[in-house]
Chains A and B, each alone.
Chain A
Amino acid sequence: MKKAFLTGNEAIARGAYESGVSFASAYPGTPSTEILENIAKYPEIYAEWAPNEKVALEAAAGASMAGARAIVSMKHVGLNVAADPLFTLAYTGVNGGLVIVTADDPGMHSSQNEQDNRNFAPFAKIPMLEPSDSQEAKDFIGEALKMSEMFDTPVLLRTTTRVSHSRSIVELGKRAPHEMRPYSKNPAKYAMIPAFAKKRRWSLKERLEALERYSEQFPFNKIEWGKNREVGIITSGVCYQYVKEVFGDEVSVLKLSMTFPLPKKLIGDFAEKVKEIYVVEELDPYLENQIKAMGIKVKGKELIPEIGELSPEILREKLKGEKSAAGFSPYPQLPSRPPVLCPGCPHRGVFYVLKKMKAAVVTSDIGCYSLGVLPPLESLDSLLCMGASISMGHGFKKALEAGGKDDIVITVIGDSTFLHSGITSLMDAVYNRSNTVNIIVDNSTTAMTGHQHHPGTGYNAKEEPAPAVSLEAVCRALGVENVAVVDSYDLRAVEKAVKDAMNCKNGPSVIIARRPCALLKGKGPTGLYAVKEEKCRKCKACLRLGCPALQVKDGGVFINPLSCTGCSVCAQVCTFGAIKKVGDE
């Protein structure tokens, strides 16, 4: 048997390949991104980046309806965007198997919240599987597709950062081609007008009852009896690995892999055979509340934290009373090293300009540019969800007007985020006559998640040439009269465009500040800048850019030649002409 050392995300992609999936769609989002990136490498599978998660799920629903096996993947908050089709898909069911992967981010390594998407399963009435390592991640895709076709339902596969981004050994299998199931017209199943939906609601209830019986027999829901039959632990996902790490076979474990619908009988049997039960789960008391509702006494969140990630260390402390063995720690506090905008980042100059503007508020959005909220740029005031910058700015502006104020409102959104869900927000601002200044920081990629293509880049998920959406054409078509396109590296042009837009009184204006991400191969700036020591007044104004290439040295400023990309922004900021391109003089 061939083995490979895969991340959970790579294993999910492999599972899709081996299970005969032929359609995959996704929008990038940590920690889910690599699922589609890896699926796209299989020529047998059609794979695409969708503009957002709702579109991705709807496209996958269509592929399933046509009879293909389909997979759609997204980060936890992406499922909020896709929630509309999700809830009704439970009613219509599927034709070809359909798996929806939600990758949650407990601890918020790279997210704006840590919602526990297991709650979606009972809410949407969709069965759910939770793998605990890469082998299960691969195997459960096959299980999910089988279950999907057997019970006429989409299936949720829920991972977390530590499943998606941990590597473990996986046994590889061959691709089992899936015969397209024939599609036959059936509006009573697929067209959810109220008359049909009412009938499908009852069918959904029956399907869920059958799924609960299936869950009782599901081989991956299993009891592992330990030396001690008095203490039982019920757990799922990566927490199973933590439990085994800390307790080995000291205690008995009920590992739940299908966590909706729960195998109530199996849980009841386990409860009867042990004296004490602990529920070990990350985030919400999802299992705990359902098990308590079954009338079973368990201990859970009174011991185990409901905020942040769990770890073997936390279990050791909370369940065994063992203090963390934290080793030697020589400093009480060290300089922190938060993520920063890269040297040459095209967003930097835009934020520098914005900081000088007298705006009532600068609403922002999700992407690398979120980092502009931090010192020294500190140019942004809000971050809520994908696309919210433009609509929140619009609401802010209307509220100011209602209060008799005419202050300036600026919004900042990235190119990928604008295409994801900023277009409808801008439509709102046009339609309802909002004089907001909207800046699209266009770095021609989905940068934060590692440079994925989107409908504006001119390439698709398979790196093939694709039609490119023109941002300026979209804005004009929406009815924006003032659309300016500037080079993000040209501070004077950016400043002039912002000031011009601030004086516009005929609806929203859009400034497209355009420059490819400096990390894109072959697209970044070239050259090198250096400080002319004789001209430098040591005012340190350039340090306000927060560029990692600029450092304090002997009271002055030094540009690290290994980091400098040659973007020229610091040279434009220096009023004494002390920063020059190397080789220019």
Chain B
Amino acid sequence: MEVKSIFISGVGGQGTILAGKVITTALVNLGYDVKMSEVHGMAQRGGSVITQIRYGGKVYSPLIEKGRADVLLAFEKLEAARYVEYLSPEGTAIVNDLEVPPASVLVGREEYPSDIVERLKEGIKKLIVVDAVGIAKECGEVRAQNMVLVGVLAGALNWPKEALVQVIREVVPPKYADVNVEAFERGWAIVAPLSRS
């Protein structure tokens, strides 16, 4: 099978690492060769964080090249705009409808662009904007926003749902398993009907 690449971007503390863990564990269970790359340490303290995932028959590089990602999964709008150049012209962008202003914006030195979604629409064929925070709140746990986004991704790529649900139950503490599975399924439901039609 051809290698597929998923580029995840977000802000330190948003749960991108757990999302990457759920996605890759499921892909390994499904029998793919998988590689994932993350950067830790100084690069993490509230800064912009990225996770790169590649899977298929045989994967060499853990890094994704610009313009070649099949999916950009952005946990935050500014981090979508920052890394959208990694997305292939045929790719799908899944963007959390959330603004986390960086320090320079908080103190009024720089402005947070107000037109990110509009601009992204101009250059991306498949753009899915998701209110993951709103959905996660409805499920009863705002921190489950990452599982909402994983659900959208799994739906968009038509992955077998049960494989993901099983992994979520394995990696999330039992107390939070149900709410995370619900968040995942809500995300899945947003796109699954689209991709099957």
Contacts and interface: CB of A to CB of B under 8 A. Distances in A.
B68 interface: yes
A166 B65 contact: no
A169 B59 CA distance: 10
B103 A109 contact: no
A335 B36 CA distance: 27
Contacts of B134: none
- Among B36, B41, B111, the one with the most A-chain Cβ atoms within 10 Å of its Cβ is B41
Interface in B21-51: 24-25, 28, 33-48
Contacts of A339: 12, 42-47
B87 A546 contact: no
Which of A168, A313, A449, A552 has the largest number of chain B CB atoms within 10 A?
Answer: A168
A324 B67 contact: yes
Interface stretch (A206-214, A241-249, A296-304): A241-249
Interface string A133-176: 10000000000000000000000000001100111110000000
Contact of B66 (A133, A169, A327, A342): A327
Contacts, number: 180
A324 B65 contact: yes
Contacts of B111: 335
B102 A449 contact: no
Contact of B60 (A244, A330, A334): A244
A3 interface: yes
A316 B64 CA distance: 13
B41 A548 contact: no
Interface string A23-58: 000000011010000000000000000000000000
A584 B34 CA distance: 53
A169 B28 contact: yes
B64 to A, nearest CB: 9
B112 interface: yes
B61 interface: yes
A338 interface: yes
A576 interface: no
A245 B37 contact: no
Contact of A326 (B12, B67, B101, B108): B67
A448 B42 contact: yes
B41 A337 contact: no
Given A166-B62, A325-B68, A338 B39 contact: no
A329 interface: yes
A226 to B, nearest CB: 14
A274 B88 CA distance: 35
B78 A327 contact: no
Nearest to A555: B108
Contact of A552 (B79, B106, B116): B106
A546 B107 contact: yes
Contact of B102 (A33, A336, A342): A336
Interface string B68-109: 100000000011011011111101000000000111111110
A340 B82 contact: no
A450 B60 CA distance: 29
A448 B41 CA distance: 6
B110 interface: yes
B35 A340 contact: no
A165 B106 contact: no
Most buried by A among B34, B43, B48, B106: B106
Contacts of A330: 81, 84, 116, 119-120, 122-123
A548 B37 contact: no
B132 interface: no
B38 to A, nearest CB: 6
Interface string A306-332: 000001110010000000111111110
B39 to A, nearest CB: 5
Given A335-B110, A550-B106, A327 B87 contact: yes
A225 interface: no
B123 A340 contact: no
Nearest to B90: A327
B62 to A, nearest CB: 4
A329 B84 contact: yes
A552 B104 CA distance: 10
Nearest to A30: B41
A304 to B, nearest CB: 16
A422 B37 CA distance: 34
Contacts of A340: 45-47, 103
Contact of A30 (B37, B42, B47, B62): B42
Nearest to A447: B45
Contacts of A169: 28, 33-34
A574 interface: no
A334 B113 contact: yes
Contacts of A371: 45
A368 B66 contact: no
B38 A245 contact: no
A334 B42 CA distance: 21
Contacts of A335: 78, 101-102, 104-105, 110-112
Nearest to A450: B40
A342 B120 CA distance: 30
A110 interface: yes
A551 interface: yes
B24 to A, nearest CB: 6
B124 interface: yes
Given A327-B86, A371-B45, A165 B37 contact: yes
Nearest to B43: A109
B45 A368 contact: yes
B11 interface: yes
A565 to B, nearest CB: 13
A331 B81 contact: yes
Contact of A241 (B12, B48, B62, B119): B62
B39 A316 contact: no
A518 B62 CA distance: 33
27 contacts: A30-B41, A109-B39, A110-B42, A133-B35, A162-B37, A162-B63, A167-B62, A169-B28, A242-B61, A313-B66, A316-B65, A324-B65, A325-B68, A326-B66, A330-B84, A330-B120, A334-B81, A335-B78, A337-B48, A337-B103, A339-B43, A339-B47, A340-B47, A376-B107, A448-B41, A543-B107, A551-B101
Of all A-B residue pairs in the complex, the 9 with the closest CB atoms, nearest first, are A30-B41, A325-B67, A110-B41, A328-B123, A339-B45, A110-B42, A245-B61, A166-B62, A339-B47
Interface of B: 11-12, 24-25, 28, 33-48, 59-63, 65-68, 78-79, 81-82, 84-89, 91, 101-108, 110-113, 116, 119-120, 122-124
